[in-house]
Chains A and B, each alone.
Chain A
Amino acid sequence: MMIGIAFLLMLHFFGRRALEITLFGGILAGLFAMHLVLRSVRLPFISWFIDNFEREGVRVPGFGSAWYAFGILMAAVAISGIAPLSAAISILAFGDSLSSIIGKKGRFSLPYNRSKTLEGSIAFFAGSLSACFFIGPAAIPLALVCAIAESLPLSLDDNITIPAAAILFFHFYPL
């Protein structure tokens, strides 16, 4: 969530190009760091970050976090306008984070995806309403579309499917 807020601040203070360059450089540097970690090199901060924050069961350590950067970069390239882009980033920052926290404690599994819970999807929708701050009431259908995309049993990472849903939304509903 904090990283998402940092990207939002960067977008508003330094502009889209600065965000894109930071993400592009950060991803390339991050991939090299992941390679070194896979080659059993201990890197200060990065190894600690992977040990403490990486999702369980990932094949490449750190790639879970890399998907997040890939998702925001995808949104930055494909969504025109600062307000819609801010809305998409805020959904990743607040909606996805909230659903991860609450979804794990949920009891009711979704009928079409047993690995996700209804509580998690509701939390995602609620967190995604933070996009109202940037695009007003249009955030409600956007949050709904992204919540549905997040809940689908797809093989792609959430951090790609959520911005992809936001891109499609703004394609058909330009602000």
Chain B
Amino acid sequence: MDVAQAFFYLAQMLDSPYSFFSMLGIAVFLAEPRWEKRWKIALALLIAGGLALLAKNIIMEPRPCIGGSSLIQCPLDYSLPSGHAAMAFTLMIAFIGKRPFPFFWIFALLVAYTRFYLGVHTFEDLAAALVLAPVAYQFADIIWGAFFERGK
């Protein structure tokens, strides 16, 4: 198996929601020892995914792969922003200043690049996902502060 083929398999693995969410869960579990923080990160990821889904259905930008130019089957939903990249960037922001940050920085770049490499997203989709990430984390911070840290 050559490097290009190995990278294609990796990109395919990151594309699959089952393996992608499993990877996110395992990474958070290993990198963050505190349960409270783990749940906060999970909330931020949920918000990032929800905001991405909402934006996709408001903007309704068609996928660049419509017509069969992607390396995998073209997803049926809209393109902008990339939900995978939004969650990976949110995870990266959650770990800023912590020891595992470089791993999540590389992971986010890898996820973003694989979306572009597979032909299912454009650069604009990835840029929009990067913008969505701090907004999602900020919302998670506000919600967490309002509902879970009240009275502490």
Q: Which residues of chain B have a CB within 8 Å of any CB of chain A? A: 59, 80, 92-93, 96-97, 101-102, 105, 109, 123-124, 126-128, 130-131, 134-135, 138, 142
Contacts and interface: CB of A to CB of B under 8 A. Distances in A.
Contact of B101 (A35, A67, A73, A74): A35
Contact of B105 (A32, A38, A74): A32
B142 A77 contact: no
B123 A20 contact: yes
A60 interface: yes
Which of the four size classes fits the interface of chain A?
A: 20 to 34
Given A34-B96, A67-B134, A77-B127, 5 more contacts: A20-B123, A31-B105, A70-B130, A73-B130, A155-B138
Interface stretch (A21-29, A48-56, A88-96, A118-126): A21-29
B134 A24 contact: no
A76 interface: yes
A77 to B, nearest CB: 5
B92 A73 contact: no
Nearest to B129: A77
A34 B105 CA distance: 12
Interface string A4-30: 000000000000010011011001100
A170 B128 CA distance: 17
A44 to B, nearest CB: 20
27 contacts: A20-B124, A20-B127, A21-B123, A24-B123, A24-B127, A24-B130, A28-B105, A28-B130, A32-B102, A34-B96, A34-B97, A35-B102, A38-B97, A60-B96, A63-B134, A66-B134, A70-B130, A73-B127, A73-B130, A74-B128, A77-B80, A77-B124, A77-B131, A78-B59, A155-B142, A156-B138, A160-B135
